[in-house]
Structure 1
Amino acid sequence: MTQPSELVATFLAHTGGRLEASAEADALEGLLRRVWEDARAQWPEVELPAERFIRHLAERLPEAGSDGQIGPRLEQLSLPELYLACACVQGIAEATVAFDRHYLSRLPGLLGYLRQPAAIIDEVCQLTRVKLLVHTPEGAPRLNDYTGQGSLLSWVRITAVRIALRVCGLDKPAPDEGVVEVLESLPAPGDVELDLIRRRHHAEFRQAVREAFAALSMDERHLLRLHVVDQLSTVELGALFRVNQSTVSRWLKSVRQTVFNETRRRLQARLGLSARDFQSFLGALDSQLELGISLIFGEEDAQARK
């Protein structure tokens, strides 16, 4: 076996023991070189040395799957965005400019649904920029915590929303309020016939959820976005809306039930399943609603970014 190259040695040294040297060192060298070149091609003005990026990547390598292959683990990551985040943390000026232009500049529009005064939104955007990009005596910029799993824009938005809660003084839950579980997903049934029905009518299900969701009021959509997309807890939502946690839980339960009922009504009119099959299908429907809602929000965000 040949001695690993410097790039491979750097990668192996910073995976935290999640990867060991193997006879595939040459193949790994080619893979890492391509990963760096492809990521760099997305930001041609940002010059980040390969070794720095590969070290950053290795420290955020996802845990191995059943086959332990590196390629599928890297495919889980948004590598160009991880490259930009790494370059920003390294203090490369061109990376900061690109981050401002492609991400931070979009925050005012993305935070509009919080319904805060323009001055508050501006302050939140400024604080978010500082938190994400500025080194402090306590450590690296928060952007260093981005692992490449998921959209960088969504990650930045969630950070900004949590800053908004603090700016507005809404991040302190009332005492003695327990955590109330809402929007619980039921386990998917193991019935083979039901699984076949669900897969066969996947398109109808997605369309029914979309139509049911469109029938919600703007306030109801706003609440679901904060909970499902921005991952705010019922405690945080209660503080944001200045109501107690149990009220937020009732709101969420009501909205979820509305989507469920509307989806059920639309499916029943379309599918023409037998009464028994349709009732079985409904048993699996509840476990799919939150995923469907998340996908709809993701599609809306993608459209907004175009």
Structure 2
Amino acid sequence: MGNGLGLVATLVTQARGRIAPPDDAAVLEGLLGHAWNASREKWPGVDLSAELFVRHLAERLPEVSPGSPLAPVLESLSLAELYLACACAQGLPLATRLFETHYLAKLPGMLGYLKQPSAALDDICQLTRVKLLVRTPESGPRINDYTGRGALMSWVRVTAVRIALKLQAADKPEPEEDVAELIEALPAPGRDAELDLIRQRHQAELRQAIRDAFSALSSDERHLLRLYFVDKLSTTELGALLRVNQSTVSRWLKSARQTVHDETRRHLRARLNLSAAGFQSFLDVLDSQLDLSISQLFGEEDRLAGERGLEARGGAEPGPVMKR
């Protein structure tokens, strides 16, 4: 591992007061050393010192309450991808080639649902590359903004979508009704003891039913829901991005959400042996949690995709470099 001494001191100093010196410094020293080693193994040939990696990590750690363990925080981060991002920010040529091969090269396929001409997609991808990897007189490369919270591919895709949106800013539609006016306000979770009891007893069945319901969505509907619930694009932004008016986007969102609701209801009815009254109460729970569950499922997909991608790439040789 090399000289890993003092990693905890580096972490605490570079975090600038957001974390306190831990009581179990020796244990944390070992965790940081292991994180560095494991990350290097995922990207053979990309060599960062342990101190440099830990400094980069410390600057992006969320604030932790005094006395709270840091191990769960570290485990929640995509450390191997944060390592690659740090190496790219340092300008290491191999890291840049790996980032282009395993991330930027996938953007055209991932952005196909935007229905942009090939030339426009090329522009979006090249602008994304420049924004993320090129240092300017005013600032370093924007890949420095990646914090490790979530899959790197998802973060890159969101950056590209934002660039696509800016390129179409001149085509803004007239403001119309927002989706919030089309989708009725949902009751807040925990509004009575009966719903709380049903939620606790059948939480697993509810989440699985929503997962199954997603299979009924088209790829375009999934992308639309992801842009709205995960990327937090407004209906106005979505209209500009997809070259339709805002009311059309609102109808699409309402239809996709209704499909998830109806399919979830069908799966639940087949699985649960509830009375008519009990099933109606369960549907109230479904309504109260549907939007949150959709966001959570996309988050799980991104995390699992990132983990599978890292496993598949372990030890892989760099492929062709994205055209510049």
* Counterparts in 2 of 1:129 and 1:186: CA distance versus 1, 3 Å: farther
CA drift at 1:15: 0.7
Q: Could you tell me which residue of structure 2 aligns to residue 209 of structure 1?
A: 210
1:106 equivalenced with 2:109 (yes/no): no
- Read off the aligned partner of 1:277 and give its amino acid letter: G
1:34-49 pair list within 5 angstroms: 34-49=34-49
Deviates further, 107-116 or 291-300: 291-300
* Counterparts in 2 of 1:119 and 1:50: CA distance versus 1, 3 Å: same
Specify every segment of 5 or more residues in structure 2 that has no aligned partner in the other structure, as ranges.
Answer: 313-324
Alpha-carbon contact 2:19-2:66 (below 8 Å) kept: no
Q: Could you tell me which residue of structure 1 aligns to residue 150 of structure 2?
A: 150
Alpha-carbon contact 2:114-2:242 (below 8 Å) kept: no
SS of 2:180's equivalent? coil
* Counterparts in 2 of 1:124 and 1:290: CA distance versus 1, 3 Å: same
Q: Could you tell me which residue of structure 1 aligns to residue 264 of structure 2?
A: 263
Q: Could you tell me which residue of structure 1 aligns to residue 180 of structure 2?
A: 181
Distance in 2 of aligned mates of 1:242 and 1:234: 12
Q: For residues 131-187 of structure 1, give each alpha carbon's deviation from its aligned partner in whole angstroms, at most 9, with x where no partner exists.
A: 1111001201110000000000100011111112223x2476456668653766643
Alpha-carbon contact 1:185-1:290 (below 8 Å) kept: no
Q: Could you tell me which residue of structure 1 aligns to residue 236 of structure 2?
A: 235
Which structure would you say has the larger RCO, counting Cα contacts within 8 Å and 6 or more residues apart?
Answer: 2
Specify every segment of 5 or more residues in structure 1 that has no aligned partner in the other structure, as ranges.
Answer: none
Q: Could you tell me which residue of structure 2 aligns to residue 160 of structure 1?
A: 160
Q: For residues 248-267 of structure 1, give each alpha carbon's deviation from its aligned partner in whole angstroms, at most 9, with x where no partner exists.
A: 23432233223213322342
1:218-257 pair list within 5 angstroms: 218-257=219-258
* Counterparts in 2 of 1:295 and 1:113: CA distance versus 1, 3 Å: farther
* Counterparts in 2 of 1:220 and 1:65: CA distance versus 1, 3 Å: same
SS of 1:232's equivalent? coil
Deviates further, 131-140 or 287-296: 287-296
Q: Could you state the TM-score of these two structures normalised by the residue count of structure 1?
A: 0.85
Distance in 1 of aligned mates of 2:179 and 2:210: 25
- Read off the aligned partner of 2:162 and give its amino acid letter: R
Alpha-carbon contact 1:165-1:171 (below 8 Å) kept: no
Q: Could you state the TM-score of these two structures normalised by the residue count of structure 2?
A: 0.81
Q: For residues 51-90 of structure 1, give each alpha carbon's deviation from its aligned partner in whole angstroms, at most 9, with x where no partner exists.
A: 1111111111122258511111111211000010001001
